[in-house]
Structure 1
Amino acid sequence: MNKLITVSSILLAATAVKAQSPNVIFILADDLGYGDISAFNPESKIHTPNIDNLTHSGISFTDAHSSSALSTPSRYSIITGRYPWRTTMKSGVLNGFSPAMITPDRRTIAQMFSENGYNTACIGKWHLGWDWAYPQNAKNKQDVDFSLPIKNGPTDRGFDYFYGIPASLGTAPHVYVENDKVTALPNRTIGPQKGIKLIRNGVAGADFEPQDCLPNIIRHGIDYINKQRDSKKPFFLYLPITAPHTPVLPAEKYQGQTIIGDYGDFVVMIDDMVQQIVKTLKKNNQLENTIIIFTSDNGCAPYIGVEEMENKGHHPSYIYRGYKNDIYEGGHRIPLIVSWQGKYTNETNGSLVSLTDFYATFAQMVNYQLKDEEAVDSYSIWPILSKKGNSARKDLIYESGKGYLSLRTLQLKLVFHSGSGGWGYPNKPADLAKLPSMQLFNLKEDPSEKKNIISNKRYKKDVDKMTQMIKKYVEEGRSTPGKRSANDTGNSWKQIEIFMQ
């Protein structure tokens, strides 16, 4: 009898601990540059007081990176804790009709949270594919039967609840999906129109208006937070918003708020919506038990009008070279704030961090032991967040839109190709042929990557060591300590043959 009482007491105590675990809200902006946040860029022409306020009760990470300079692969890494080039997708992004990228056997951060006592939700832009239903006579992937449920979407990958859109705001089909069904059947086709540029032609749901997408996502996010107010379980809310990605659609009340035009005004709109979320948490007495993460999936898009913004003194990539899609720092170095009221006070941290790391971080927070095939590229930063140590990460890999890979150490960055690997110069074959086949930058001395030092003999041993290191990470199927894992396309593939020969 005493043994039963003891066991019951232990189980009750464990349940109480889980109930006291902090809520986690992960706000992921879409194509927001490092220099777009005034807390990260003193010369920013966009004033973001509410995002800046997160830094007052937070830790600002100044050397944080997405795993890719593009949306889909970056999001894959957040959800799985795994580098995206290990999958079958070696470059580019998915579209709104693409099948599920996350395979059923691949564990996700949402599953991990759910199995450890959390309610989980994804509200916003998914962009990781799912499986639409098709009639028997379907001739192409656009011939979707929207009346039928989707499969292999967020609610099949660990999230209790989903509300959002399939891919980017400008990408068809233009529909909202709640859990596994569209909220309204398509009844028209929309495309570029007055005031709404850079939106692809496609069917649209009866309840879908592009300019209301961001406010609608925030409304649902706030509604979810309110519903969790009386829950005995903590919650994980993954909130991948649709801005400032094109089409750039600031609401009327935000228009004219900056000197750089609609893009700046759209960022101001994001800033105000961060305030709405914080205000809701305060009202519900949830703020002091909620970790808020604010970051971006990659750098600012060059086609947004960056040349005009730079001419007005605003540099979305701050001092860093390149933009979205590029292997250079502006493509993947992103603002990252981890805010926790009462725990932190305006701290800055220069540790090397990847968005891939949050899987292992929160696993450690809830005392969950990762499985062999789980989060194979994720290093916990919980020692930093709990003020008990540092991250064990000493290097990381990130990729460009074309699939160019780079290995980064604490000081050096080795790119295993020439050129930007994206839309930036140089990327034309004739120009690339004139350049060395690899690039090396000393980011401590040259953070703007102005000088390729690959020919400097002083760094030959470093280049050899880094080449062997990335080869090891590819062949072992992981970059963290553990059992050998398998890449989806084998542990040797064409994008790295240049240095594996």
Structure 2
Amino acid sequence: MLLSQLFASCSSKPRKDSRKPNIVLILADDMGYGDVVAYNPSAKVKTPYIDKLASEGMAFTDAHSPSAVCTPTRYGILTGRYSWRTGLKKGVLWPWDGPLIEEERETLPKMLKTAGYRTAAIGKWHLGWNWPTQDNMPATENNGMEVDYSKSITGGPLAAGFDYYFGDDVPNFPPYTFIKNENVEVLPTVQKPKGLFGHSGAMAPGWTLEGVMPAITQKAVDYIEEAADKEQPFFLYFALTAPHTPIAPSEQFKRTSEAGAYGDFVQEVDWTVGQVMEVLEQKGIADNTIVVFTSDNGSPARNGENSSGPIASVIEDYGDRANGPWRGLKGDAWEGGHRVPFMVKWPGHVAPGEWNNGLVSSLDIMATVLDILGMDSKPDVSPDGVSLLEALKDNDAPVREHLVHHSHQGVFAIRKGAWKLILSPKSGGFSDGIFPDGYGIATDGQLYNLDRDPGEQDNLYGKYPEKVSELVKLLREIEG
């Protein structure tokens, strides 16, 4: 969706340029709305590079991830399709799970390859693989103990349409080693020490949690440097591993924020964004590159103690409201679970310093790119996405009339205009772990008017049954 704003030059038409733009999509991991100073001036962190990106492009205040947790959001971004339409009805993929993206599914990188783009994914994948095993049994049968790392690991980014991949799949899942394309870079010949954060499993000798972000950042910089010298346009999907657990900031960032290790890790994310922006400038391609920055869901707001910390502890310990003014945490159907920072820079096409208040989602990126490139629309291309071209023409024009939200535990919510319906008296996410006995909500669901009640405190479910019925009907129609 940020991409839609790509065209938003507000007061003037986009300039003519026959070159196809490069596209860099930076996806932070568990970074909340309030983790960016441009959105939250009282944040206990400093984010000068992300703030600069916002000032040089368009930032969205009512942007949402396709889900309130990781795997389904990544599926939604890369396919333009709600993940709850797959077999994953709640939660995320776990270690050794198979691919979630269907083999025949059209994806953003596949679409871009047909338009002449080179495509690369760097960083976190978390969409499953076909793990080869020595006993030919699924890797899930024995916790990956029989995985044969001498063989290719298929069903990952290359199968989804990327020409190149480098990353560690999931930073707190085995194997603890980098994967390049479809093979491990270093054989994981030792077991992860029990004292090191993450699920048990195989690890490459010398692996460190603190080394992941610098390594993938350097790979992203290297890729841009190499791609910039080619005539072919490129698409880089740069999925960060921070500030998700393990909260493991590099030494240069430790004790640099006012929000503990978590704040330090957020500032490392900002540095990474700065590295990407710097290499685009150095290679002289910034003016013809769309840069999108967003997050996969809201923050659980852990303080970083022992690479993790209790839910909401960064708020309690440091007064750092990682999700800004919004109620809730990662995984929740409330706004804090899925309302995220979302911004785009595209010189000459998006007016700098603009703020857009329309309802949008990163689910819309694929549909918007399709329009940007003038490609023919097809039913299987971003079936749930909405083109944002109207928002590009009018900064105040809402693009989406409605949007479906989906929580960690599979709770549905639907937004239409100012109205939001949650089909549960609970949050369906991380907040429920703090309040296992509930929130004193006596109705079967929750109904809020976000224009009058952005904090979702005044439940109108019992007062407006006709609005509840209207939204339930709409949701059922969308579900099909």
Same fold (TM over 0.5): yes
**3-state SS, counterpart of residue 144 of structure 1:** coil
Deviation at 1:261, TM superposition (A): 0.8
Residue 326 of structure 2 is matched in structure 1 by: 320
Deviation at 1:461, TM superposition (A): 2.7
Moved more, 369-378 or 177-186: 369-378
Consecutive unaligned residues in structure 1, runs of 5 or more: 1-16, 476-501
Matched, 1:166 2:169: yes
Judging changes above 3 Å, is the alpha-carbon distance between structure 1 residues 135 and 311 closer, same or farther for their aligned structure 2 residues?
A: closer
Equivalence map 1:288-303=2 (5 Å): 288-303=287-302
Letter in 2 for 1:182: V
Residue 334 of structure 1 is matched in structure 2 by: 340
Residue 41 of structure 2 is matched in structure 1 by: 42
User: In 2, Cα distance between the equivalents of 1:147 and 1:386?
Assistant: 52
Residue 231 of structure 1 is matched in structure 2 by: 230
Deviation at 1:28, TM superposition (A): 0.3
Contact 2:98–2:131, Cα closer than 8 Å, also in 1: yes
Deviation at 1:123, TM superposition (A): 0.4
Deviation at 1:384, TM superposition (A): 2.9
Judging changes above 3 Å, is the alpha-carbon distance between structure 1 residues 447 and 110 closer, same or farther for their aligned structure 2 residues?
A: same
Deviation at 1:269, TM superposition (A): 1.1
Deviation at 1:201, TM superposition (A): 1.9
User: In 1, Cα distance between the equivalents of 2:302 and 2:173?
Assistant: 16
Letter in 2 for 1:218: T
User: In 2, Cα distance between the equivalents of 1:174 and 1:111?
Assistant: 28
Deviation at 1:390, TM superposition (A): 4.6
User: In 1, Cα distance between the equivalents of 2:314 and 2:289?
Assistant: 39
**TM-score (norm. length: structure 1):** 0.86
Residue 51 of structure 1 is matched in structure 2 by: 50
Equivalence map 1:386-405=2 (5 Å): 390=397, 392-405=399-412
**3-state SS, counterpart of residue 368 of structure 1:** coil
Residue 276 of structure 2 is matched in structure 1 by: 277
Per-residue Cα deviation, 1:41-71 (whole angstroms, up to 9, x for no partner): 0111111011000011110000000111110
Deviation at 1:209, TM superposition (A): 2.4
Letter in 2 for 1:150: I
Residue 133 of structure 1 is matched in structure 2 by: 132
Residue 449 of structure 2 is matched in structure 1 by: 442
Contact 1:362–1:382, Cα closer than 8 Å, also in 2: no
Aligned length: 453
Letter in 1 for 2:292: I
**3-state SS, counterpart of residue 200 of structure 1:** coil
**3-state SS, counterpart of residue 163 of structure 1:** strand
Deviation at 1:427, TM superposition (A): 8.1
Judging changes above 3 Å, is the alpha-carbon distance between structure 1 residues 219 and 158 closer, same or farther for their aligned structure 2 residues?
A: same
Deviation at 1:192, TM superposition (A): 4.7
454, 459, 479: which is aligned to 1:474? 479
Residue 114 of structure 1 is matched in structure 2 by: 113
Deviation at 1:433, TM superposition (A): 9.1
Matched, 1:221 2:220: yes
Contact 2:302–2:314, Cα closer than 8 Å, also in 1: no
Residue 465 of structure 1 is matched in structure 2 by: 470
Matched, 1:309 2:315: yes
Residue 4 of structure 1 is matched in structure 2 by: none
Judging changes above 3 Å, is the alpha-carbon distance between structure 1 residues 303 and 118 closer, same or farther for their aligned structure 2 residues?
A: same
Contact 2:123–2:239, Cα closer than 8 Å, also in 1: yes
Contact 1:383–1:390, Cα closer than 8 Å, also in 2: yes
User: In 2, Cα distance between the equivalents of 1:235 and 1:24?
Assistant: 6
Contact 1:421–1:427, Cα closer than 8 Å, also in 2: no
Contact 1:382–1:391, Cα closer than 8 Å, also in 2: no
User: In 2, Cα distance between the equivalents of 1:389 and 1:413?
Assistant: 20
User: In 2, Cα distance between the equivalents of 1:313 and 1:434?
Assistant: 27
Judging changes above 3 Å, is the alpha-carbon distance between structure 1 residues 439 and 377 closer, same or farther for their aligned structure 2 residues?
A: same
Residue 3 of structure 2 is matched in structure 1 by: none
Matched, 1:155 2:144: no
Q: Percent identity?
A: 37
**3-state SS, counterpart of residue 158 of structure 2:** helix
Matched, 1:145 2:148: yes
Deviation at 1:226, TM superposition (A): 0.5
Deviation at 1:429, TM superposition (A): 7.3
Deviation at 1:133, TM superposition (A): 0.8
Letter in 2 for 1:332: H
Contact 1:91–1:401, Cα closer than 8 Å, also in 2: yes
Judging changes above 3 Å, is the alpha-carbon distance between structure 1 residues 257 and 388 closer, same or farther for their aligned structure 2 residues?
A: closer
Judging changes above 3 Å, is the alpha-carbon distance between structure 1 residues 241 and 446 closer, same or farther for their aligned structure 2 residues?
A: same
Contact 1:80–1:109, Cα closer than 8 Å, also in 2: yes
Residue 243 of structure 1 is matched in structure 2 by: 242
Contact 1:420–1:426, Cα closer than 8 Å, also in 2: no
**3-state SS, counterpart of residue 154 of structure 1:** coil
User: In 2, Cα distance between the equivalents of 1:77 and 1:266?
Assistant: 26
Judging changes above 3 Å, is the alpha-carbon distance between structure 1 residues 18 and 118 closer, same or farther for their aligned structure 2 residues?
A: farther
Contact 2:29–2:296, Cα closer than 8 Å, also in 1: yes
415, 418, 422: which is aligned to 1:411? 418
Which of structures 1 and 2 has the bigger CA Rg? 1
Contact 1:380–1:391, Cα closer than 8 Å, also in 2: no
356, 363, 384: which is aligned to 2:391? 384
Residue 254 of structure 1 is matched in structure 2 by: 253
**3-state SS, counterpart of residue 135 of structure 2:** coil
**3-state SS, counterpart of residue 121 of structure 1:** strand
Contact 2:262–2:302, Cα closer than 8 Å, also in 1: no
Moved more, 301-310 or 275-284: 301-310
Judging changes above 3 Å, is the alpha-carbon distance between structure 1 residues 18 and 319 closer, same or farther for their aligned structure 2 residues?
A: same
Matched, 1:345 2:344: no
Judging changes above 3 Å, is the alpha-carbon distance between structure 1 residues 454 and 130 closer, same or farther for their aligned structure 2 residues?
A: same
**3-state SS, counterpart of residue 474 of structure 2:** helix
Moved more, 225-234 or 366-375: 366-375
Contact 1:110–1:120, Cα closer than 8 Å, also in 2: yes
Residue 79 of structure 1 is matched in structure 2 by: 78
Consecutive unaligned residues in structure 2, runs of 5 or more: 1-15, 304-308
Deviation at 1:87, TM superposition (A): 0.6
Contact 1:186–1:204, Cα closer than 8 Å, also in 2: yes
Matched, 1:64 2:63: yes
Per-residue Cα deviation, 1:300-356 (whole angstroms, up to 9, x for no partner): 114445334344331011111110011111011000011123442100001101110
Moved more, 264-273 or 296-305: 296-305
Residue 429 of structure 2 is matched in structure 1 by: 422
Residue 28 of structure 1 is matched in structure 2 by: 27
Higher relative contact order (CA 8 A, sep 6+): 2
User: In 2, Cα distance between the equivalents of 1:256 and 1:471?
Assistant: 49
User: In 2, Cα distance between the equivalents of 1:440 and 1:262?
Assistant: 36
Letter in 1 for 2:168: I
Residue 181 of structure 1 is matched in structure 2 by: 183
Letter in 2 for 1:178: K
User: In 2, Cα distance between the equivalents of 1:440 and 1:22?
Assistant: 42
Contact 2:301–2:315, Cα closer than 8 Å, also in 1: no
Deviation at 1:175, TM superposition (A): 1.9
**TM-score (norm. length: structure 2):** 0.90
Residue 485 of structure 1 is matched in structure 2 by: none
User: In 2, Cα distance between the equivalents of 1:49 and 1:471?
Assistant: 43
